Amino acid sequence: MLAIEIQRILDDANSQLEQVDETLQEMQEEGNPDLEEADIFKLDIFKAEFQTQRIEVQQSLDFVKRMWNYALQTSEGVTYIPEEQFLDPLPYEIEEYTFYESNAMQSRSELRGVEAGIEALRNSVEATRAQQYPLLFLGITGSFAHTPNRPRQTNPFIINNSNYASAGVGFGIRQNLNFQSIRNRVEKTEIEYQRVNDLHKAVTDGIVLEVNEAYREAVIADSKRKQTDEALKIARNWVRNEQLNYDLGFGDVENLLEAVQKELELRLNLKQNTFELNKRIAALYKASGVSVSQMTINE
């Protein structure tokens, strides 16, 4: 889209240069005293430099098309054309920095993964430490059988499988006597737990730095685009004023060329700054854990 916009700007610039060239030729044929030879030389130099820029832009556009076609594996003779033909800033509103940092702390998947690892290792440390202590247990057992029409056996030393009742209770203790091995496992688990805690701090610091940098670049890109847009409005008024002076017969060729050149430069800068702004906003969304697809919800 940026390449298409630049090509469109250069096409408009070519039309404007042709108009200026025709005006200078008419002034030269009429022997207009306001026309200086230096003005013609300046226009010729600008036209030569302009043609170089046109070739660079056309080659860039062809390169982009080839890369898109290769990435999308399009068939022979099919060219990828973006759905939108104009590069405009995506709908956005830059919030306060704290909004993006808070969202990153809640949404970044790598931070969630480290926190899950910390919780798992915390449980592992507790389980390993528990192996150092004796295990106490209490057991109760009982059994009962009753069969009608069977005589009861009154002798306590003879088991009657048809009618009987019994109960038992037991208490026990179990202790792992390999204390050194247990201590080694506890130390190893605690070291791993501390390492993951350090990793959590490192990841948090990295995310904070990333969000800070993305926020700074987004704010700067937003300001540059707005200021370029304001400058372009002034340049367009300048061009209209110089063209009006020409129509009235007292215009200055050098001023007109300078005004036209400045307008073209600002138009080009505005599209490049718009492209850069969209990238910076997308990077800010990514750094803060917000889906980039949300940028187009309000379109």
| Whole-structure pTM value | 0.67
In whole angstroms, how large is the CA radius of gyration of the chain?
41
- One domain for residues 196 and 291: yes
Residue 274 is part of which domain span? 90-133+178-299
Q: Which residues contact 125 (CB under 8 A, 6 or more apart)?
A: 186, 189, 190, 193
In terms of domains, do 184 and 255 share one? Answer: yes
68 & 151 share domain? no
**Cα 109 from Cα 203, distance rounded (Å):** 11
98 and 83 within one domain = no
Q: Are residues 77 and 195 in the same domain?
A: no
Rounded to whole angstroms, the Cα distance separating 28 from 34 reads 10
Residues 259 and 127 in one domain: yes
How far apart are the C-alpha atoms of 3 and 62, rounded to whole Å?
9
Q: How far, rounded to the nearest angstrom, does the alpha carbon of residue 118 sit from its chain's CA centroid?
A: 27
Q: How many domains, the chain?
A: 3
Per residue in 70-94, pLDDT (tens digit) is: 888 777 667 667 777 788 888 878 8
So what's the pLDDT on residue 19?
A: 77
Rounded CA gap, 188 and 181, in Å? 11
The span from the CA of 261 to the CA of 215, in Å, is: 33
Decide which of 122, 145, 174 is a domain's last residue: 174
pLDDT in tens, 226-246: 999 999 999 999 888 887 876
Cα separation of 146 and 162, whole Å? 6
Task: Give the whole-angstrom CA distance, residue 34 versus residue 251.
Answer: 8
